[in-house]
Homo-oligomer: A and B are copies of this chain.
Amino acid sequence: MGEVPDIVIGRLPIYLRALKHLMAADKEFTSSQELGRILGIGSAQIRKDLSHFGEFGKQGTGYEISYLSDQISKILNVDRDWSVALVGFGDLGQALAHYAGFASKGFHIDIIFDNDPAKLGESAKGTPVLDVSQIGPIIAERKIRIAIIAVPASAAQAVAEQLVDSGIRAILSYAPITLKLPEYVRVQYIDPVTHLQRMTYYLA
């Protein structure tokens, strides 16, 4: 199979989330039409996205939910647990460290870093806060590949470079700047202001 467009990869987690909800509601089968209604996405789009990876549905019965969920989990490499490093233990970092939704999906915040000496005694769910000077040795030693950045915009680029130098290959950044990193590093951004601004366009 050829290279799958990243925008298709970006929709798979949404499909997976919907499938988990259907499973939680004890449903066994679904269809691209039902998924489309739940997600507000066209059913043809869903069929086309899934067709990049094989044949998952049967004419007449549709998709077996647990099978399709397992397959998408495998495709996304989320049929295993991942260690995650969190940098920044301010208000946002603390909220993220306590967020139950990560661990329940296999993402475990196993290390927390901050540059504020006052925070070094603190911890979240038993995970202690370490000094940022430890980023290099600890991430390399534990072979962690994923990091979440929750530091101010002014510190984000330097932190990101330090993470990448230590072996991090995927970064979820909450800092409102675009990071400049090597192409082999995956970066996703969460900036709530850009989401709000995208909606005010329609509130004329």
Q: Which residues of A180-199 have CB atoms within 8 Å of chain B's CB atoms?
A: 186, 188, 190-199
Using A99-B91, A101-B176 as known contacts, say yes or no to A78 and B199 having CB atoms under 8 A apart: no
Contact (Cβ within 8 A) A193 B76: no
Q: Is A120 part of the contact surface with B, judged by Cβ < 8 Å? A: no
List of B residues within 8 angstroms of A14 by Cβ: 178, 194
Q: Which residue of B lies closest to A77 (CB)?
A: B200
A1-37 CB contact bits vs B (8 Å, 1 = yes)? Answer: 0000010011011101110010000000000000000
Give chain A's interface residue range (CB within 8 Å of chain B): 35 or more
Q: Is A63 part of the contact surface with B, judged by Cβ < 8 Å? A: no
Q: Pick from B9, B21, B92: contact of A201, CB below 8 A.
A: B9
List of B residues within 8 angstroms of A102 by Cβ: 192-193, 196
List of B residues within 8 angstroms of A77 by Cβ: 200-201, 203-204
Q: Pick from B6, B145, B198: contact of A13, CB below 8 A.
A: B198
Query: Nearest-CB distance from A174 to chain B (Å)?
Result: 9
Query: Nearest-CB distance from A198 to chain B (Å)?
Result: 5
Q: How far is the CA of A191 from the CA of B13 in the complex (A)?
A: 10
Q: Which residue of B lies closest to A170 (CB)?
A: B199
